[in-house]
């Protein structure tokens, strides 16, 4: 193959960046992508901030973006990338199926949402699909989106209170942790219950995890 043909082949290949803070996951995806003749691995990133920097340096066509990473989470990184490089396609990649996670990623500009335990062949097909301009949302994720609509947001403080409750703290302990009174905590919980359509703390935590508001680390 002459130099002109080789250059044409490189241009035709889809340039992919992998961003994930788990080295084993990142290395596995990178290895599979490197073996595909139609794809070109242009870089790896270990956190959201690194992903934004690598996009500026390597100019990928598609980014596989883990949503939960240190320094800058995946959603913030997606927003930064789409703001600066609107033509870059981003596939959100996560272990969670919560409705909040899905909505946040798609609203930030992701072209698709994949769960990490999906078959690698599905991931490769998704890369090609979003590069063509398609949106990729697997049936199970689409069903979760349908269940979650209409969307109800908790405030940052309400999420913090719910997270502390999920950690087993009493109202008094939650009040101490956030620097407020017991009555304020009770008011926050009343609002949380109303927004989630639940009647007690246990049910609130359960629904919070199911919707992706809380994550069990």
Q: What pLDDT sits at residue 29?
A: 92
- What is the 8-class DSSP label of residue 71? S
Rounded to whole angstroms, the Cα distance separating 46 from 44 reads 7
8 A C-beta contact, residue 67 and residue 73: yes
Rounded to whole angstroms, the Cα distance separating 52 from 131 reads 19
Q: Is this structure's pTM higher than 0.75?
A: no
Supply angle C-alpha 47, 19, 100, rounded to 5: 80
Rounded to whole angstroms, the Cα distance separating 23 from 114 reads 18
Q: What pLDDT sits at residue 147?
A: 62
**E strand spans, 25-74:** 39-45, 62-66
3-state secondary structure of 91: strand
Tokens of residue 80, six digits: 């930064």
Tokens of residue 100, six digits: 């909040």
Q: What pLDDT sits at residue 64?
A: 96
CA distances from 27 to 47, 145, 164, 181 (A): 14, 30, 34, 48
Among residues 73, 216, 212, the alpha carbon closest in space to that of 153 is found at 212
- H/E stretch holding 114 reads strand 112-115
Rounded to whole angstroms, the Cα distance separating 90 from 82 reads 8
Q: What pLDDT sits at residue 69?
A: 87
Residues of the chain with pLDDT under 50: 7-8, 150
Q: What pLDDT sits at residue 34?
A: 94
């Amino acid at each position: 193959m002459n130099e002109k043909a080789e250059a044409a082949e490189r241009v035709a290949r889809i340039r992919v960046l992998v961003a994930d803070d788990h080295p084993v996951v990142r290395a596995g995806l990178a290895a599979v992508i490197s073996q595909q003749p139609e794809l070109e691995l242009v870089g790896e990133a270990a956190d959201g901030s690194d992903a934004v920097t690598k996009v500026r340096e390597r100019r990928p066509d598609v980014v596989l973006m883990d949503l939960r990473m240190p320094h800058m989470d995946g959603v913030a990184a997606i927003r930064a990338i789409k703001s600066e490089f609107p033509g870059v396609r981003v596939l959100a990649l996560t272990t969670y199926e919560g409705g909040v996670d899905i909505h946040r990623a798609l609203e930030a500009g992701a072209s698709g949402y994949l769960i990490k335990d999906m078959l690698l062949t599905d991931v490769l097909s998704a890369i090609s699909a979003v590069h063509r301009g398609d949106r990729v949302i697997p049936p199970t994720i689409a069903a979760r989106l349908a269940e979650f609509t209409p969307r109800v947001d908790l405030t940052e403080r309400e999420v913090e209170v719910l997270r502390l409750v999920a950690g087993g703290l009493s109202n008094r302990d939650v009040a101490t942790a956030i620097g407020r009174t017991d009555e304020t905590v009770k008011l926050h919980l009343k609002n949380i219950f109303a927004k989630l359509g639940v009647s007690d703390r246990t049910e609130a935590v359960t629904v919070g995890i199911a919707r992706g508001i809380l994550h069990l680390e």
